[in-house]
């Protein structure tokens, strides 16, 4: 039984104000390459970071579901700039892109050449990750998910040297996060924790992180959605839940929910957190015959008192559906996909590397069925 947590996590409200000092202490870096997106630069967080750094190049063109041509463009820039540290600032997209760009800084070619596990020759540059949402866990994982536009496919690029060296996790980053993003990224984190707890590769080590994350997220997400500005406790609990969920799934895996979400994200460029919210209850229902005991344990962590395992699991599914309704997360129908597109989605989900990890075997036909159920779900 192994446990990987190579990233140093520096956690605390307001900790971003110590960025300069942390970079000096942890990296002794003099030249920084900042990877982020335009939204972060416009929100003022970018300036808060830049005001503490002297010799910094900024690449702020990262889009949602970051695309390989964008990462390759940043790769060319980073090779010219020759920094000694890459900082990834934002949600999962900028942080995943930062890991990929750090890889391209020390290795030639395009990011698609490095799809898979440890395909690089030289270790990437060190990465400092600063999450600004409460969802992806990318600050503590070894994977970078980059979309290949021609293949309409989300590539996974990973390796033991791709863990960020430091995660600077400041719950105050959530102060200006709009409620729809709190909802979707929070549900992404919850999906990480639940899938990590139930996949075939789960261990007692990973389960400890998953259990704590499940409890924290169920407890704090409704309050965080309601009013994050005036609730420091909710900010801290949802942010730590998200990071702990990242550690959990990086040490076990994700399952069929993420297989479907990544398939739809790659094919139709749809938001990852919303897709997970839509597919989570459907996949829970599909897995019930083999994962009832685990789901009943999760139900207890979610505050459900029911003792009977089947009833507790069903209550858990209802609770998740009602959370997504209360937080106005779009339904599958709202995303506008047609049934004629389901074979492509099912095929991509089936081919996902995480498909074999799901607690119940999921065949291509099962994915089609889950998609139909999601479309007709109320
Ligand atoms: Fe995710």
Predicted pLDDT of residue 377: 84
Q: What is the pLDDT of residues 347-376, one digit of tens each?
A: 999 999 999 999 999 999 999 999 999 998
Calpha distance 207→200 (Å, rounded) = 12
CA 204 to chain centre: 22
For residue 89, the CA-to-ligand 1 centroid distance in Å is 17
Q: What torsion do the CA atoms of 251, 252, 256, 258 make, to the nearest 10 degrees? A: -10
* Per-residue b or e along 193-213, where b marks 16 or more CB atoms closer than 10 Å to that residue's CB: bbbbbbbeebeebbbebbbbb
* DSSP run (H or E) holding 245: helix 232-251
For residue 271, the CA-to-ligand 1 centroid distance in Å is 10
Predicted pLDDT of residue 44: 86
For residue 92, the CA-to-ligand 1 centroid distance in Å is 9
Calpha distance 331→325 (Å, rounded) = 9
10-residue mean pLDDT series, the chain (378 residues): 95 97 94 97 92 94 97 98 97 98 98 97 98 96 96 94 98 96 97 98 97 98 97 98 98 97 94 96 97 97 96 97 96 92 97 97 98 89
For residue 24, the CA-to-ligand 1 centroid distance in Å is 31
Task: Determine the number of helices (DSSP H) and then strands (DSSP E) in the chain.
Answer: 13, 9
For residue 263, the CA-to-ligand 1 centroid distance in Å is 12
Predicted pLDDT of residue 158: 96
Predicted pLDDT of residue 295: 97
Calpha distance 15→52 (Å, rounded) = 13
- Contact criterion met (CB below 8 Å) for 92 and 61: no
What is the model's pTM? 0.96
Under DSSP, the state recorded for 109 is S
For residue 189, the CA-to-ligand 1 centroid distance in Å is 7
Share of the chain above pLDDT 70, in %: 100
For residue 120, the CA-to-ligand 1 centroid distance in Å is 24
For residue 229, the CA-to-ligand 1 centroid distance in Å is 24
For residue 77, the CA-to-ligand 1 centroid distance in Å is 28
Check the CA dihedral 218-222-223-229 and report its sign. Answer: positive
- Domains contained in the chain, CATH given: 8-174 (3.40.50.1970), 179-376 (1.20.1090.10)
Q: How many CB atoms lie within 10 A of CB 53?
A: 17
- Contact criterion met (CB below 8 Å) for 185 and 261: no
Relative to beta strand 116-117, strand 56-59 is: unpaired
Q: How many CA atoms lie within 13 A of 349 on its CB side?
A: 32
For residue 137, the CA-to-ligand 1 centroid distance in Å is 8
Calpha distance 129→136 (Å, rounded) = 12
Q: What is the pLDDT of residues 306-332, one digit of tens each?
A: 999 999 999 999 999 999 999 999 999
For residue 354, the CA-to-ligand 1 centroid distance in Å is 12
- Contact criterion met (CB below 8 Å) for 238 and 221: yes
Calpha distance 251→68 (Å, rounded) = 26
């Amino acid at each position: 039984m192994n446990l990987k947590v190579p990233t140093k996590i520096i956690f605390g409200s307001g900790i971003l104000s110590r960025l300069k000092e942390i970079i000096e202490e942890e990296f002794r870096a003099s030249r920084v390459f900042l990877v982020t997106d335009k939204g972060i630069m416009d929100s003022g967080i970018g300036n808060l970071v830049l005001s503490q750094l002297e010799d910094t190049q900024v690449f702020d063109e990262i889009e949602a579901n970051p695309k390989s041509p964008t990462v390759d463009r940043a790769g060319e820039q980073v090779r010219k700039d020759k920094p000694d540290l890459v900082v990834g600032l934002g949600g999962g997209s900028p942080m995943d892109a930062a890991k990929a760009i750090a890889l391209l800084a020390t290795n030639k070619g395009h990011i698609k050449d490095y799809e898979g596990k440890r395909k690089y020759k030289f270790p990437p540059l060190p990465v400092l990750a600063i999450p600004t949402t409460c969802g992806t866990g990318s600050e503590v994982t070894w994977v970078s998910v980059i979309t290949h536009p021609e293949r309409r496919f989300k590539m996974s690029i990973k390796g033991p040297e791709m863990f960020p060296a430091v995660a600077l996790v400041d719950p105050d980053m959530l102060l200006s996060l709009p409620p729809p993003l709190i909802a979707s990224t929070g549900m992404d984190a919850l999906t990480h924790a639940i899938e990590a707890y139930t996949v075939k590769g789960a261990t007692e080590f990973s389960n400890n992180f998953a259990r704590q994350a499940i409890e924290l997220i169920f407890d704090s997400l409704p309050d965080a959605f309601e009013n994050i500005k005036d609730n420091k406790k909710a900010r801290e609990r949802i942010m730590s839940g998200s990071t702990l969920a990242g550690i959990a799934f990086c040490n076990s895996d994700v399952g069929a929910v993420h297989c479907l979400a990544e398939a739809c994200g790659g094919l139709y460029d749809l938001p990852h957190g919303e897709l997970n919210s839509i597919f989570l209850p459907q996949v829970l229902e599909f897995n019930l015959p083999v994962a009832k005991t685990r789901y009943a344990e999760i139900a207890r962590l979610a505050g459900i008192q029911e003792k009977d395992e089947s009833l507790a699991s069903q209550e858990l599914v209802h609770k998740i559906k009602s959370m997504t309704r209360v937080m106005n997360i779009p339904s599958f129908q709202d995303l506008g996909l047609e049934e004629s597109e389901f074979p492509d989605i099912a095929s991509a989900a089936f081919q996902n590397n995480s498909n074999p990890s799901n607690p119940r075997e999921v065949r291509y036909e099962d994915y089609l069925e889950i998609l139909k159920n999601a479309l007709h779900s109320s």
